[in-house]
Amino acid sequence: MGENAHTVEYARELDQSDELGKYRQEFYIKEDTVYLDGNSLGLLSKRAEASVKAIMDSWKTLAIDGWTEGEHPWFYLAESLGKQMASLVGAEEEEVIVSSSTTTNLHQLLATFYQPADKKTKILADELNFPSDIYAMKSQLAVKGFGPDDHFVRVKSEDGHFLKEEDIIAAMTEDIALIILPSVLYRSGQVLDMEMLTIEAHRRNILIGFDLCHSIGSLPHDLSKWDVDFAFWCSYKHLNGGPGATGGLYVNKRHLGTTPGLAGWFGSHKGRQFDMSHEMVPAENAGAYQIGTPHILSMAPLIGALSMFTEAGIDPIRSKSLRLTTYFMDLINHELHPFGFVIRNPLAVSQRGGHVFLEHPEAARICKALKSEGIIPDFRSPNGIRLAPVALYNTFEDIWHTVQILKKIMEEKKYKQFENKRGVVA
Residue list for the binding site for pyridoxal 5'-phosphate: 102-103, 130-133, 211, 214, 236, 265, 293
Alpha-carbon gap, residue 195 to 173, rounded angstroms: 19
Closest by CA to 165, choosing from 130, 134, 200, is 200
Residue 252 and residue 209 in contact, taking contact as beta carbons nearer than 8 Å: no
Of the CA atoms within 13 Å of residue 139, those in its CB half-sphere come to 12
Binding positions: 102-103, 130-133, 211, 214, 236, 265, 293
Closest by CA to 1, choosing from 329, 317, 405, is 329
Give the CA-trace dihedral at 136, 137, 142, 145, to 10 degrees. Answer: 150
**Three-state secondary structure string covering 48-113:** HHHHHHHHHHHHHHHHHHHHCCCCCCHHHHHHHHHHHHHHHHCCCHHHEEECCCHHHHHHHHHHHH
- Tell me the residue type at 323: R
Of the CA atoms within 13 Å of residue 243, those in its CB half-sphere come to 1
> Where does residue 347 rank: exposed (0-12), middle (13-18), buried (19+ CB within 10 A)?
exposed
Alpha-carbon gap, residue 80 to 300, rounded angstroms: 12
